[in-house]
């Protein structure tokens, strides 16, 4: 059951370690605008929806600032933990939207014991997947990779179904796939 992952510190540690790798790769490339060196400019985030205790390093989003005077461009690498500016961790935004799809009240009740998300928020996320995400340039291109085509009316469940493996593997693969839309300028998400 995916909901139990949210209470598993190893799952969150895995996401953090992947975020570190993504941040290292971003930094190694330098400034996108001028090629200058990037300095660390992490910013604090207090994401909701994590059902376990984690160290303070989990409350920071990796970000960089160009060291060149007159540029100072900010680069925020892709993340498996943060989906744009959403206040909930990315895994929750995926999982709740999936569980809500045809979810029974019992399943919602069990999940809301782990994470408190009201029905209006859930409805907004589901609408985001189908209307906003489905219309992004990223998805318009990326969806061509899937054959047969992913059913857009069943997003994100239909997308998660395409990633195979045991335990957390499909979810981590999906979060990694979503990387390009998680950056600072990548997508406006509330």
Nearer to Zn ion, 34 or 132 (CB): 34
Stretch that binds Zn ion, among 55-63, 65-73, 95-103, 112-120 (CB under 5 A): 65-73
CB of 27 to Zn ion, least distance (A): 13
C-beta separation of 180 from 90 below 8 A: no
CB of 64 to Zn ion, least distance (A): 10
Pairing of strands 74-75, 64-66: antiparallel
> What whole-number distance in Å separates Cα of residue 42 and Cα of residue 182?
15
C-beta separation of 57 from 162 below 8 A: no
Nearer to Zn ion, 70 or 149 (CB): 70
Residue 129 has phi, psi (to 5 degrees) of -60, -45
CB of 69 to Zn ion, least distance (A): 10
Residue located via tokens 């985030």? 45
Binding residues with Zn ion: total (CB under 5 A): 8
User: Per CB under 5 A, does 68 bind Zn ion?
Assistant: yes
C-beta separation of 69 from 27 below 8 A: no
User: Per CB under 5 A, does 71 bind Zn ion?
Assistant: yes
User: Per CB under 5 A, does 123 bind Zn ion?
Assistant: no
Helix axes 169-177, 90-100, angle to 10 degrees: 110
Stretch that binds Zn ion, among 2-10, 31-39, 127-135, 158-166 (CB under 5 A): 31-39
Stretch that binds Zn ion, among 18-26, 36-44, 105-113, 144-152 (CB under 5 A): 36-44
C-beta separation of 65 from 38 below 8 A: yes
User: Site residues (CB under 5 A) for Zn ion?
Assistant: 31, 33-34, 36, 66, 68, 71, 73
């Amino acid at each position: 059951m995916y909901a139990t992952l949210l209470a598993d510190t190893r799952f969150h540690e895995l996401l953090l370690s992947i975020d570190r790798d993504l941040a290292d790769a971003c930094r190694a490339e330098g400034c996108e605008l001028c090629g200058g060196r990037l300095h660390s400019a992490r910013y604090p985030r207090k994401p909701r929806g994590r059902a376990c205790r984690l160290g303070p390093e989990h409350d920071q989003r990796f970000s960089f600032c160009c060291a060149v005077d007159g540029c100072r461009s900010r680069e925020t690498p892709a993340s498996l933990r943060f989906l744009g500016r959403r206040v909930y961790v990315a895994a929750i935004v995926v999982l709740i939207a999936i569980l809500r799809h045809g979810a029974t009240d019992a399943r919602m009740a069990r999940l809301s014991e782990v994470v408190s998300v009201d029905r209006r928020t859930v409805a907004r996320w589901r609408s985001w997947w189908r209307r906003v995400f489905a219309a992004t340039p990223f998805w318009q291109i990326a969806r061509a990779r899937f054959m047969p085509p992913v059913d857009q009316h069943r997003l994100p469940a239909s997308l998660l179904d395409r990633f195979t493996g045991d335990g957390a593997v499909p979810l981590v693969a999906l979060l990694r796939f979503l990387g390009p839309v998680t950056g600072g300028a990548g997508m406006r998400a509330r």
